[in-house]
Amino acid sequence: MSDHQLRVSKIPRGTVIDHIRAGQALNVLAILGIDGLGGETVSIGMNVPSDRMGHKDIVKVEGRELSQDEVDVLSLIAPEATINIIREYEVVEKQYLERPERVVGVLSCPNHNCITNADEPVETKFEVLDDGVRCEYCETIVREDIAAHIAVE
């Protein structure tokens, strides 16, 4: 198979997340809340050859377009990724990720003493740093495995 052949077929409509750092596709699925039980049709390519990146991951989710919150969190773990919105088998919109200045309500603070982990109606707020995120309440910095801190609804 040449590198120019499609490894996964085109989707009729939905989202293709391309140029994900190799090994991060499962974290992308976690961010999107996809666990295989929701009925979504999902295609994943992991460690696929890439001229630009050496190797990359790619995720295709049929019938779903991403929310801005999902895109913001994706930018934290896959800043090189591109989001392609597909309709009628064609790319109708291509979005390059930009890291937001802050993310609200999508990550949980690992500090058990943080006000966001008490039984208080406080939404988490994290400032985005060059190398991680910082809780705006307790100043805890998360640099590793940000995907593990995605708030489960």
Is 103 marked within a binding site?
no
Is 148 marked within a binding site?
no
Q: Token pair of 144, please?
A: 């590793």
Q: Cα separation of 99 and 3, whole Å? A: 30
Is 138 marked within a binding site?
yes
Q: Cα separation of 57 and 116, whole Å? A: 33
List the one residue out of 61, 51, 50, 60 whose CA is nearest residue 22.
50
Is 7 marked within a binding site?
no
**Three-state SS annotation for 41-54:** CEEEEEEEEECCCE
Residues annotated within a binding site for Zn(2+)? 109, 114, 135, 138
Residues annotated within a binding site? 109, 114, 135, 138
